[in-house]
């Protein structure tokens, strides 16, 4: 410590007398600090993360490993440029370029983080058999778009570009797109409500208030597709699915009551007939008899 206290005044004096040499010293210190941070994350932070039960922390640390130590180098270079104080316009250009590199590094890291989180959630939901994978994927894409928009805003501010006209134009364009894509947005939010409310799932047999009936084969962001008993696929917009009465015959249990009309002669033992029909229904045999209502639970 005494040696360090003796060297600090001399080092400060040298940096003050020669700004170029001072900038080189700052850059060397930044490189050493970046190496120390690199080793610390690689051997200490990752070791602690490997012992935790949370599996995503390893991924987060690995994604932010390179941006952290590269940010130390870029911040050191930025401090070196400001220490040298080059003449205009080189002072502005060098600072803007270094800030742009720093912005690119962290934008890519955040985008990779959101994409990885979305992929892990999609894999977990698919293993659990849950619906809403498209919503997670859409959320990851929207997070990436927000990161891109924020990066673009910071980039323009770094280069002293006035963004007020751009914001006004973006507002007008947004209103025009919203009016032109009114039905698409309605279907999108209808799909989100279907995913969040879970009135039906893939494989359920549903009946709509308009009369369509069939098995749900796919739930998309724009429409829901059902397959009728005649093997005809019907695509219904999600805006309709979210605002119509849906009868789900597969919920809460996959079994439901079917009414079949069949005719028998007078004096027939109804109990024996019901036992016979239940046996035939369990065997999967069709019964082509019209006339009498018999309730069979299958």
> Could you tell me which residue, 84 or 39, shows the higher pLDDT?
39
Confidence of residue 20 (pLDDT cuts 50, 70, 90): confident
133-180 pLDDT, tens digit each:
777 877 888 888 899 989 998 998 899 888 777 777 777 877 887 777
* DSSP per-residue string spanning the chain: -HHHHHHHHHHHHHHHH-HHHHHHHHHHHHHHHHHHHHHHIIIIIHHHHHHSS-THHHHHHHHHHHHHHHHHHHHHHHHHHHHH-PPTTHHHHHHHHHHHHHHHHHHHHHHHHHHHHHHHHHHHHHHHT-S-HHHHHHHHHHHHHHHHHHHHHHHHHHTT---HHHHHHHHHHHHHHHHHTHHHHHHHHHHHHHHHH-S--TT-EEEETTS-EEEEEEE-SSEEEEE-TTS-EEEEEHHHHTSS-EEETTSS-S--EEEEEE---TT--HHHHHHHHHHHHHHT------SEEEEEE-
d(CA 53, CA 145): 31
- pLDDT single digits (tens) 216-241: 998 887 889 999 988 999 999 998 88
| Architecture of the domain made up of 162-253 | Roll (2.30)
Name which residue leads in pLDDT, 239 or 294.
239
pLDDT, mean of residues 116-133: 80
The DSSP string of 61-86 is HHHHHHHHHHHHHHHHHHHHHHHH-P
pLDDT reported for residue 256 = 63
Determine the average pLDDT of the residues in 247-256.
78
Q: Give the chain's radius of gyration (CA, Å).
A: 33
pLDDT for the residue numbered 172: 80
The pair of three-digit structure tokens given for residue 5, joined into one six-digit string: 């206290």
pLDDT of amino acid 298 = 38
Of the pLDDT bands very low, low, confident and very high (cuts 50, 70, 90), residue 286 is low
pLDDT at residue 3, as a whole number: 54
Q: What is the mean pLDDT of the chain?
A: 81
Query: Does pLDDT of 78 surpass 70?
Result: yes
Of 293 and 21, more confident:
21
Q: Where are the domains of the chain?
A: 15-158, 162-253, 257-297
Q: What is the pLDDT of residues 149-160, one digit of tens each?
A: 899 989 988 998
End-to-end CA, the chain: 86
What's the residue count for the chain?
298
Q: Which residue has the higher pLDDT, 96 or 51?
A: 96
Comparing 15-29, 96-110, 152-166, the range with the smallest average pLDDT is 15-29
Where residue 224 falls (left for φ over 0; alpha for ψ -120 to 50; beta otherwise) is: beta
Q: How much is the average pLDDT of 264-273?
A: 86
For the chain, give the percent of residues with pLDDT over 70: 86
């Amino acid at each position: 410590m005494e040696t360090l206290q003796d060297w600090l005044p001399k080092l400060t004096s040298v940096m003050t007398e020669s700004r170029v040499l001072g900038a080189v010293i700052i850059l060397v210190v930044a490189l050493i600090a970046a190496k120390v941070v690199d080793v610390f994350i690689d051997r200490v932070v990752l070791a602690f993360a490997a012992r935790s039960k949370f599996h995503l922390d390893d991924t987060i640390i690995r994604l932010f490993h390179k941006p952290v130590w590269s940010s130390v180098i870029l911040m050191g270079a930025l401090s070196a440029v400001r220490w040298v104080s080059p003449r205009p316009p080189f002072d502005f250009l060098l600072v803007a370029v270094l800030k742009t590199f720093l912005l690119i590094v962290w934008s890519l890291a955040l985008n990779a983080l959101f994409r990885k989180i979305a992929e892990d959630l999609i894999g977990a939901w698919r293993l659990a058999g849950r619906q809403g994978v498209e919503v997670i994927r859409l959320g990851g894409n929207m997070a990436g778009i927000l990161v891109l928009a924020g990066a673009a805003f910071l980039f323009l501010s770094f280069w002293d570009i006035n963004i007020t006209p751009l914001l006004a134009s973006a507002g007008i364009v947004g209103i025009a797109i919203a009016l032109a894509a009114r039905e698409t947005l309605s279907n999108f939010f209808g799909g989100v409500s279907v995913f969040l409310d879970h009135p039906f799932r893939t494989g359920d047999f549903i009946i709509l208030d308009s009369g369509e009936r069939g098995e749900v084969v796919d739930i998309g962001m724009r429409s829901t597709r059902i397959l009728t008993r005649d093997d005809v696929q019907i695509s219904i917009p999600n805006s309709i699915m979210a605002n119509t009465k849906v009868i789900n015959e597969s919920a809460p249990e996959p079994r439901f009551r079917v009414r079949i009309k069949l005719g028998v002669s007078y004096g027939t033992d109804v109990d024996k007939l019901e036992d016979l029909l239940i046996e035939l229904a369990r065997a999967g045999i069709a019964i082509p008899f019209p006339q009498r209502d018999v309730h069979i639970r299958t």
